[in-house]
Amino acid sequence: MAEVMTAPESTEADLMQDFQEIVSSTNQDLIQENANVDGKSPCGQMNKFASESAKLYAKEKMLSREAKQAMEDNYIHIHDLDYMPTGTATCCQIPLGKLLEKGFNTGHGHMRSPQSILSAMALAAIVFQSNQNQQHGGQSFQAFDYDLAPFVKKSYQKRLHRLQQYQLPLAPQELEKLAWEETDRECYQACEAFIHNLNSLHSRSGGQVPFTSINYGTDSSREGRLIIKNLLLATQSGLGKGETPIFPIQIFKMKKGVNFYKADPNYDLYQLALETTAKRLFPNFSFIDAPFNFVYYEEGNPDSEVAYMGCRTRIMANRHGEENSLGRGNISFTSINLVKIALTSSTVEAFMAKLEVYTEMVIRQLYERYVFQANKLVNNFTFLHGEGVWSGSDELNPEDTLEEVLKQGSLSVGFIGLAECLKALTGKHHGESEQAQELGEEIVAFLRKKCDEAAEDYDLNYSLIATPAEGLSGRFVKQDRKDFGIREGITDRDYYTNSFHIPVYYPIQAVEKIKREAVYHPYTNAGHITYIEVDGDVSKNIKAIDILVKTMAESGIGYGSVNHPVDRCKSCGYTGTIDNACPSCEITDERQFDRIRRITGYLVGTMDKWNTAKASEERDRVRHV
């Protein structure tokens, strides 16, 4: 193995320096690792004090010597290290239907099962808020339309009963039609309130709203279709002054025979989804028919439909229970710096040997973290496990440990910088060279093979994730640039390219980008995403988005989205593309413009909260259409 360059260890002096930068708000990259948090606010600062202190504790008291050394040498990054001492897991696909059916307790009293769609939607927001503080990552609903359809039915029945009491001179079918119209309006109000709640219910220090995702699109019942339709219409309408809602991250599930073709029952809702994406950037699109997703699919069983988290996380395979995503999630993940391994390897063979060393070390580190997490108690997580959010946890007692249920989650190995890695090894990245593409696939296939072997060896759900790097994208390259200098196409930018993506600055046609990145989706069974950048006001060209989504489906993409500028003038309310001046009122003051952009899977209403690496990446993005 090549000689290791050792970075200085974290010390009390380093921590004091971080604290000073938090107090003075002078280090954007430190206080804005997460663009969804106001790092300058009092609670945001307090949260950051706790975070930096917890990281130091985890490094000094909880990591093995080899894991700590690998972090200091810039070979790996342990995600959410500050939450490691708490034993939390990363994310969960919440079984909303089960919680609404039986009711739940948030810690200050029991919430009864709702009797209308309005109250069901209100409780859905409370479920997200309650669970957010029990996990360090995101929360998601796996089948939002199916889960809420029964409560649309309850609203309809209540309204029909009320109309029947009036003894109106109407035929039964006319009364039913009127009841459905009233239910439709109630459903819209419920969806509107749900979206407003998820953009205003602050649940963490620093003004962070719950990091939420919802999956929907395949329920073809009358009730399910009303949910889908009104959710999309409410999203198009936006918030109180027309702002684009950044949460929930919405994922429209595509399925041939359901919403893919013109003859499919939900095809009209797919068209509405395209219109909404063109205006609001959401929904994204997941593809049930992708071979690695379809293998779990059972017709008529919504639990079997693949579900994603907004940024890309996916969980389906399960060695210890049902193979679906319901009530399960990622336990923790650690990412490998492919670029540094390439920069310290003289040949491809040396690179692969060194990659094996660090992959096996990450597998050990994930297991050590899992053992700590599995020994936490149910009553450490009164909602997540005490209310049975995590699959099987409602069968445990408060003093039971979590091993029996937590082992259904996934332990994920991640990676960053495949493009820069290939540039270091071959002189070209996988967007510009077939040879590099072949090597890229070999590298990612090798990582998946190591995860599969670990799953057998440890009897746990080890998996491979295409890392969603935010703060990490700049942190790795900053240290590597110190060690290796500026290398063209490798360390000469402020960020490394996320996971297997083709660099954002590289000009490539959309179809070609989709096909090249689709190769990596089957290997990354813990999550993946492919983005396509388009220019201008795409609301006038819905067909273009349709073609992109269909191309993703036919190319074997598991999850994808379409990025385009969504700007809003705060002065006149114009929403669309704004260059230097508002096309409507002609104002030129940049402070009057909201510029919605996607960062690592989620949207941000202002780029003031972006760290320097991701801000630099956004400036470099080229359009593929």
Query: How confident is the model over 68-97, as pLDDT tens digits?
Result: 999 999 999 999 999 999 999 999 999 999
Q: What are phi and psi of 540, to 5 degrees?
A: -95, 0
Residue 597, pLDDT above cutoff 70 = yes
Instruction: Name the percent of the chain lying above pLDDT 70.
Output: 90
Residue 6, pLDDT above cutoff 60 = no
Q: How does pLDDT run across 435-471, given as a tens digit for each residue?
A: 999 999 999 999 999 999 999 999 999 999 999 877 7
CA distance linking residue 467 with residue 415, whole number of Å: 6
Would you say 270 and 253 are in contact if contact means Cβ atoms under 8 Å apart?
no
The pLDDT score that the predictor gives to residue 51 is: 80
Instruction: Give which of 603, 593, 606, 513 is closest to 564, Cα–Cα.
Output: 603
> Quick one: how many helices (H) and strands (E) in the chain?
20, 17
CA distance linking residue 545 with residue 274, whole number of Å: 7
User: H or E stretch including 127?
Assistant: helix 117-132
The pLDDT score that the predictor gives to residue 27 is: 63
**pLDDT confidence tier of residue 605, bands split at 50, 70 and 90:** low
**pLDDT confidence tier of residue 31, bands split at 50, 70 and 90:** low
What class, spelled out in words, does domain 92-309 have in CATH? Answer: alpha beta
The pLDDT score that the predictor gives to residue 8 is: 42
**pLDDT confidence tier of residue 337, bands split at 50, 70 and 90:** very high
**pLDDT confidence tier of residue 5, bands split at 50, 70 and 90:** very low
Q: Token digits for 216?
A: 């929907």
Four-residue CA torsion sign, 423, 429, 433, 436: positive
For the ranges 24-33, 39-48, 590-599, the lowest mean pLDDT is seen at 24-33
Q: How far is CA 575 from the centre of its chain?
A: 25
What one-character DSSP code corresponds to residue 332? E
Domain edges within the chain: 9-62, 76-88+332-528, 92-309, 565-624
- Decide which of 3.20.70.20, 3.40.50.620, 3.40.50.2300, 3.90.110.10 is the CATH code for 76-88+332-528: 3.20.70.20
**pLDDT confidence tier of residue 296, bands split at 50, 70 and 90:** very high
Residue 30, pLDDT above cutoff 80 = no
Instruction: Give which of 507, 497, 511, 540 is closest to 623, Cα–Cα.
Output: 507
The whole-number average pLDDT for the span 139-143 is 97
If you write DSSP's letter for every residue of 512-552 in order, what string do you get? Answer: HHHHHHHTTTTT-TTB--EEEE--S-GGG-HHHHHHHHHHH
Q: Token digits for 259?
A: 């919403």
CA distances from 496 to 24, 337, 505 (A): 28, 9, 12
The pLDDT score that the predictor gives to residue 565 is: 81
The pLDDT score that the predictor gives to residue 1 is: 33
Residue 393, pLDDT above cutoff 50 = yes
- 309, with CB counted inside 10 A (0-12, 13-18, 19+), is buried
Would you say 587 and 572 are in contact if contact means Cβ atoms under 8 Å apart?
yes
**pLDDT confidence tier of residue 603, bands split at 50, 70 and 90:** confident
**pLDDT confidence tier of residue 254, bands split at 50, 70 and 90:** very high
CA distances from 592 to 196, 279, 281, 567 (A): 22, 19, 21, 10
CA distance linking residue 493 with residue 485, whole number of Å: 12
Instruction: Give which of 325, 351, 319 is closest to 337, Cα–Cα.
Output: 351
Would you say 152 and 223 are in contact if contact means Cβ atoms under 8 Å apart?
yes
CA distance linking residue 285 with residue 278, whole number of Å: 13
The whole-number average pLDDT for the span 380-384 is 95
Q: Token digits for 297?
A: 């699919």
The whole-number average pLDDT for the span 115-135 is 95
The whole-number average pLDDT for the span 417-439 is 98
The pLDDT score that the predictor gives to residue 574 is: 86
Which strands sit side by side in the sheet containing 575-576, from one edge to the other? 575-576, 566-569, 593-598, 603-604
Three-class secondary structure of residue 139 per DSSP: strand
Q: What are phi and psi of 570, to 5 degrees?
A: -70, -20
Q: Catalogue the E-assigned strands of 558-599.
A: 559-563, 566-569, 575-576, 593-598
CA distance linking residue 485 with residue 295, whole number of Å: 46
The pLDDT score that the predictor gives to residue 39 is: 58
Same fold across 76-88+332-528 and 92-309: yes
The mean pLDDT value of the chain amounts to 91
Instruction: Give which of 205, 147, 70 is closest to 326, Cα–Cα.
Output: 147
**pLDDT confidence tier of residue 202, bands split at 50, 70 and 90:** confident
- 346, with CB counted inside 10 A (0-12, 13-18, 19+), is exposed
